A = this chain, B = another copy of it.
Amino acid sequence: MSGAEFRTRIASLIAAVHEETTDFVTALDGGGQFREDVWQRPGGGGGVARILEQGGTWEKAGVNRSVVEGPLAPPVAQRLGANLGGATEAEFFAAGMSLVIHPHSPMVPTVHLNVRYFEIIGPSGETLDAWFGGGTDLTPTYPHAEDAAHFHRALERICRRHHPSFYSRFKTWCDHYFVNLHRSEERRGIGGIFFDNLRAGESGLDLEQLLDFVLEVARALPSAYGPIVERRRGERYGERERRFQLARRGRYVEFNLVHDRGTLFGLQTNARIDSVLMSLPPLAAWEYAPHYEPDSFEARLLAMLEPRDWVSQSALPDLI
């Protein structure tokens, strides 16, 4: 299933889903255009970075794809959770797409999505290990509980088509991943799904079935995020909402630079730094120890970040 032919297929599927995503994000912005940088990695491979700044709806949107390969140092293999099967030297192949959208309006949440395929290749070209990772998560400024419910329900529908336990497992994984441990475990946002090291055999699915799942996650935005953008972008807001948005973006920066494994991996390796840090917001603020009145929208947003069941009907009424 894996092997050279599969890798080539993955690379072209990633390219196709990257084009499709660029088109969707451009249309949803309604005004801006992406500019593109094509880059080569000195060690092998390269990528396509696309950025849209100061668009109709997005203040900054980045949609990247990359296909990189090269020698795999054993400590890096260990950090990746790779199984070298006793081999002392190996090559890696990694193909993926990642996206972060920071809207102008604090009424429209920030979204992040990433899918990736990793393969470890032995000295004779044999596949030693292969897995998928990815997910998507939402970071609102304004406490629209129905948006969080919409996002999670769309992801639950996608997951359900592939495996009955995927949504609840990957939702929990996400709740435990996007956490600012240094901020009393405050979450970056209201979560979504996150998964890694999904190998053939995972939950009885083979690599093709996992690929189907991952491609559907890659295409989740039209159902999971699009409707939220459509209904929120016209909403009025003032200085106070904008100010809180910038403070929440400060926490986004803290998570990405202090805790995010993907970002730290990029900083420590030979990755293209402008692509690695494309996820950082266009503008962010740090206020000293701000106080939010109980029941203010800021306090209600912070309460919404506590992990909860967004899918069942019963969890919502007291939040809306």
Contacts and interface: CB of A to CB of B under 8 A. Distances in A.
Contact of A289 (B182, B268, B274, B283): B274
Nearest to A258: B257
A319 interface: no
Interface in A285-300: 285-289
**Size bracket, chain A contacts:** 20 to 34
Given A283-B246, A285-B282, A253 B258 contact: no
Contacts of A287: 53, 282
Number of this chain's copies in the assembly equals: 2
A185 B278 CA distance: 19
Interface string A254-279: 10011000000001100001100110
Contacts of A253: 253, 257, 284
Given A258-B267, A274-B288, A277-B286, 7 more contacts: A51-B289, A60-B286, A246-B283, A253-B253, A274-B289, A282-B285, A283-B283
Interface of A: 37, 49, 51, 53, 60, 62, 182-184, 246, 250, 253-254, 257-258, 267-268, 273-274, 277-278, 280-289
